[in-house]
Amino acid sequence: MAALGSPLRTLRGLLRELRHASERSGRSYRDTPAYRHIIAAFRAHRVTSEKLCRAQQELHFQAATYLCLLRSVREHAALHREYHGKGERSPEEVAGLVGFRLPQQPGGKG
């Protein structure tokens, strides 16, 4: 990761990944403990006029790293579903996949 970007952008990305993860369970992503934890952590580490939080950059880096992990896991699962082998295929099916036809045997045996 070269640049972290905005903390708000990272927060929105994390919430987007939570939404993707919660679609499978059928629950709203706002009802999850992960949502409450992320929102509480970002609120606790924001910079206010009274104090300067030194751990803000650390939190932002950890959040961006976690966002990268969640996004990569989701994309890997999608690629795995799309390209994972479906088991052993018959020679006729494999020939059809590459655009060939198997030769017919004389006498009607094939």
Please, is 11 exposed, middle or buried when counting C-beta atoms within 10 Å of its C-beta (0-12, 13-18, 19+)?
middle
Percent of the chain residues past pLDDT 70, beyond the cut: 85
pLDDT at 12 > cutoff 70: yes
The pLDDT tens digits of the residues spanning 67-110 come to 999 999 999 999 898 878 777 888 888 888 788 888 887 766 65
pLDDT given for residue 102 in this prediction: 84
Do 104 and 110 contact (CB within 8 A), yes or no? yes
